Amino acid sequence: MTNEPRPTPAFPAIRMRRNRKADWSRRLIAENSLSPNDLIWPLFLIEGKGKREAIPSMPGVERLSVDEAVRAAGEAVSLDIPVIALFPHTPMEKRDPLGSLATDPDNLVCQATRAIKKEFPGLGVLCDAALDPFTSHGHDGVMEGERILNDETVEILIRQSLLQVEAGCDIIAPSDMMDGRVGAIRAALEEAGHKDTQIMSYAAKYASAFYGPFRDAIGSSGALKGDKRTYQMDPANGDEALREVALDIAEGADMVMVKPGLPYLDVLYRVKQAFGLPTFAYQVSGEYAMLAGAIGNGWLDRDRVILESLLSFKRAGADGILTYFAPAAARLLKGL
């Protein structure tokens, strides 16, 4: 690209519609594309066998027992989806203020990881580091009075991460937004000899109302006291996201994530422009619920709106997208 002044294009020498005149031409000039390789499929886990349980606020998404999750993992493999993410539903009676189940090597996430990696070693498995699926108060960390304790929480996240990696997890995704957790987890992984474990940090994660259906899915909705604004980011801020990302990179993140997705495309764009490392967007549960709700009512064209929403992330700079539409999108992309 030179800096020489270019002649100002003008009509009718330029007719922008020429390149759009036919499908072959539109395909030829397309700047971005979507493929199953871009997708990460989040799954929700429940206890039991042969169980699938509907999640009312996420029409079409179900909680799966471990054996059903293994089946879903097989589906991911056959659809060329490279990674699945695992989230456990925990009933109130198994939660406590410290989120103790997070550090139980036989919890649902560890069980499912072992079962899936045994059956499908070539499929990537991503596990969150965060306590909210396990705490009785629904927060991502341990509490003292009204405060979420940072450093004490990080100590537990380290143990949770190591157990998940020992179960076979490939990517640890700290979603808790405690300060310093990426560095602490990275150091612990190195020390334990897990030198190839990737960290995808939820680096710019906002305190968002769009997580509502996810909290239904994991059983946190009734539990959560207050909000997460002392650790998740203020939706008013964009520059601050760049500081968060810079810190996580310095601490050892291999990939970063911006979350939620569509309402934060500006942040995604800036992060990719500024750092250029593998950058992911999470099309979160509330975004899924909005689209699935409108699709279910016949107000939006299902196939087109799924692919358009996902392609938007690619255009903004995402290398991949965590989305509950992953299997549907992969099927569409493969013409199935």
Looking up tokens 């700047």, which residue turns up?
31
Shortest spacing between CB 299 and ligand PBG, in angstroms: 22
Which region, judged by CB under 6 A, interacts with ligand PBG, from 20-28, 68-76, 128-136, 180-188?
A: 128-136
Binding mask 41-80 for ligand PBG (x = CB under 6 A): ----------------------------------------
Catalytic entry in 94, 117, 228, 259? 259
Q: How far is CA 237 from the centre of its chain?
A: 20
Active site includes 272?
no
With a CB cutoff of 8 Å and minimum separation 6, the contacts of 4 are: none
Residue 285 touches ligand PBG, criterion: CB under 6 A:
yes
- Any idea how long the chain is? 336
Residue 214 touches ligand PBG, criterion: CB under 6 A:
yes
Active site includes 259?
yes
Do the beta carbons of residue 234 and residue 245 sit within 8 Å?
no
Options 160, 175, 279, 323; binder of ligand PBG; rule CB under 6 A:
175
Shortest spacing between CB 177 and ligand PBG, in angstroms: 8
Phi-psi region of 65 (alpha: psi -120 to 50; beta: other; left: phi over 0): beta
Q: Which is nearer to ligand PBG, 211 or 280 (CB)?
A: 211
**Tokens at residue 168, please?**
């076979």
Residue 130 touches ligand PBG, criterion: CB under 6 A:
yes
With a CB cutoff of 8 Å and minimum separation 6, the contacts of 319 are: 38, 255, 278, 279, 280
What is the C-alpha separation between 169 and 39, in angstroms, rounded? 17
Give the interface with ligand PBG as residue ranges (CB under 6 A): 128, 130, 132, 140, 175-176, 211, 214-215, 228, 284-285
Q: Which residues are catalytic?
A: 205, 259
